[in-house]
Homo-oligomer: A and B are copies of this chain.
């Protein structure tokens, strides 16, 4: 997908969709927030099977839009790690609202009871908790799919 340089309109919904409203961008944000992924290689492994060129394009787009920031990994300078900016952390509330919609309206959704409990709690509170978790390098789920 080409990155459009000209915005279609200044409507707030359109502006947001031009930033993250494609089929892949929010999955990259999900990978960070849900699973703590940080590198190109980790994003590439996600089960949706993103193609290498689309992943590279989407990472560049999200960097350019100020959602992600890329830095050399402290432990291994040859590696680059992606983290969410303040603007990117703001997407956690959007992601959680999408999750709520899905568990309520998609019969194919297989969320665990523990996660459903979290999602049905106070919205502001959960958003704050998850944000703090992610800011400190954590994520909602651990390796085997259990909640942190």
Known: A12-B109, A109-B10. A22 touches B19 (CB 8 A): no
Bound Cα distance A16, B101 (Å) = 8
- Taking CB atoms and an 8 Å cut-off, the chain A residues in 88-115 that contact chain B are 90-91, 93-95, 97-106, 108-111
Indicate if the CB atoms of B16 and A27 lie closer than 8 Å.
Answer: no
In the complex, which range does the number of interface residues on chain A fall in?
35 or more
A1-35, CB < 8 A from B: 7-19, 21-23, 26-27, 30, 34
Q: How far is the CA of A105 from the CA of B95 in the complex (A)?
A: 15
Say whether B94 contacts A90, CB under 8 Å. Answer: no
A59 CB to closest chain B CB (Å) equals: 17
